[in-house]
Chain A
Amino acid sequence: MSNEHHHAAEGEYIPETYIPHPETHGTKTLWRVFFILLFITVIDFAIYFIAPAGLSRNIVFIALGLVKAVLIVGIFMHLNYEAKFLRWMIALPAAVFISYLAWLLLLEGSFVSTY
């Protein structure tokens, strides 16, 4: 590195300018995910009118929402194909803190009264 006019050699790592070579997975999976998302939305719509309102229906809606979220983040946002450390750095804090918030709501929610 003593040479001031040093140029980046092929494959040398410079953090500020590093761009990994993009990998293509084709468009087939993308369209399949689109149709799955569409199908789940139609299922949501159908359940809303078929099933009576209540806890079990809400659990189904939240579960279907989570399936949609996993598909969007994993395939559309490409996280499934990213490096292991990136996957965990994003997924773990989100899962831990958001489920903690939801758990607090379920635990403390009935003690709050605003009316």
Chain B
Amino acid sequence: MSNSATVSSKTWAGGRSPFNVSYGKLMMWVFLLSDAFTFSSLLVGYGAIRFSYSGSSTPWPDPSAIFNHFPFAHGYYLPLLFVSLMTFILIFSSVTMVLAVEAGHRKSKAEVSKYMIYTIIGGAAFLGCQAWEWTQFIHEGGRLDTNNFGITAQGYEHLKEAGKFGNHFEWMAGDRQPGPVPFASLFFIVTGFHGFHVLSGVVINIIIWLNVIYGTYERRGHYEMVEKVGLYWHFVDLVWVFVFTFYYLI
């Protein structure tokens, strides 16, 4: 290897990884790039369909008119609070994931295991929240092919009067009519597709955690698998940032 210095000075001349990552991690990045295109297509499609309802007699409903519930506070008008809690849970599980990766660099098996457990709990808590949110929406009549939230002018007037943050709020007769169906179907499709990613992330995290406690990576000499699943987990968090922005904020 007397000529190694001259070879490694040329990035694409062979004898070294131009991307300076392992094969598996490179492929994880490529997969995540393709997944980013999938989610951006879904969100752009959502935007196009939502935009097409502007000026309609059954306008696109205001998200805060629908997603304003919080567990154990039935009947109170608390828009955005529950999804903010979900965002917090996912950000927290992201930081524990990256702490597990960092502990893996130091080959500290106990710490990797601890932070992986926190991440798994965070993911499961997020899924629980999403299940509650879906149950609430289905309970109020949201279906893949039905949307009860075409809020009438009277409904918005009522919401403006009584819908103060923390107030008691119930819909009255005439406040709602059947509204744009894509609102409900896209809610299930986009949050469902994201939730399915979270579910697979939790399952993969559990598998990796089992390998950690069985000592697979200790024997292998590195914790690179934790980094790979970490990339996937952070991507799930990244997608939620945009689902949160385009579904609940805008």
Residues of A within 8 A of B (CB): 9, 11-13, 15-16, 18-20, 22-27, 30-31, 33-34, 37-38, 41, 44-45, 48-49, 53, 58, 61-62, 64-65, 68-69, 72-73, 75-78, 82-83, 85-86, 89-90, 93-94, 97-98, 101-102, 104-105, 108-110, 112-115
B38 to chain A, nearest CB (A): 11
Residue contacts A-B, CB under 8 angstroms, 27 given = A20-B20, A22-B105, A30-B95, A30-B102, A37-B94, A38-B91, A45-B84, A61-B245, A62-B245, A62-B250, A68-B241, A72-B234, A73-B238, A76-B97, A76-B230, A76-B237, A77-B230, A77-B234, A82-B21, A85-B19, A86-B26, A94-B36, A102-B44, A105-B48, A114-B52, A115-B52, A115-B53
A residues near B105, Cβ cutoff 8 Å: 22-24
User: Is the beta-carbon distance between B242 and A65 smaller than 8 angstroms?
Assistant: yes
- Name the CB-closest residue of B to A12: B1
Residues of B within 8 A of A (CB): 1, 4, 11, 15-23, 26, 29, 32-33, 36-37, 40-41, 44, 47-49, 51-53, 56-58, 62, 64, 79-80, 84, 87-88, 91-92, 94-95, 97-99, 101-102, 104-106, 165, 180, 182, 222, 224, 227, 230-231, 234-235, 237-238, 241-242, 244-245, 249-250
User: Is the beta-carbon distance between A58 and B237 smaller than 8 angstroms?
Assistant: no
Across chains A and B, the number of contacting residue pairs, with CB separation under 8 Å, is: 162
B residues near A112, Cβ cutoff 8 Å: 48-49, 51-52
- Name the CB-closest residue of B to A101: B44
User: Is the beta-carbon distance between A61 and B44 smaller than 8 angstroms?
Assistant: no
Q: How far is the CA of A76 from the CA of B37 in the complex (A)?
A: 20
B residues near A75, Cβ cutoff 8 Å: 98
User: Is the beta-carbon distance between B84 and A110 smaller than 8 angstroms?
Assistant: no
Q: How far is the CA of A113 from the CA of B104 in the complex (A)?
A: 52
The 8 closest A-B pairs by CB, nearest first: A83-B20, A34-B95, A115-B56, A65-B245, A86-B19, A109-B51, A22-B105, A112-B52
User: Is the beta-carbon distance between A27 and B99 smaller than 8 angstroms?
Assistant: yes
Known: A37-B91, A49-B165. A85 touches B51 (CB 8 A): no
A residues near B18, Cβ cutoff 8 Å: 83, 85
User: Is the beta-carbon distance between A24 and B242 smaller than 8 angstroms?
Assistant: no
